[in-house]
Amino acid sequence: MDHDLETMNRDQLVAEVKKLRQGIRRHRDSTGHDLCWHHPDLWELLPERTDPAIAIPPWPKFMRGCIRYRQSLEEQASTAPVHDKEFGE
């Protein structure tokens, strides 16, 4: 799957690492409502082009997952500042 790396020279490998790091940082630095969004741009950093077969839970189960995710942020990042804005503000 990663055979393309074997054909890259040092400069190409460094450029690839920098591109991947930039994508990871962009995802890591998401905050506020951006934490909840689907991030296909992160997948596009991979060389293989696929149409990911995602499955979307029904609304009640999806919302329970969102609530659990928010609870985990409270537990894991309890000192983070509050982003008290509505979506789109």
Using pLDDT thresholds of 50, 70 and 90, give the confidence band for residue 74: very high
44 in a structural domain: yes
56-87: b (≥16 Cβ within 10 Å) or e: eeeeeeeeeeeeeeeeeeeeeeeeeeeeeeee
Record the pTM.
Answer: 0.75
84 in a structural domain: no
Q: What would the pLDDT profile of 22-73 be if each residue is shown by its tens digit?
A: 999 999 999 998 988 888 899 899 999 888 888 999 999 999 999 999 999 9
Domain with 70, as residue range(s), is 3-76
83 in a structural domain: no
Q: How many domains does the chain have?
A: 1
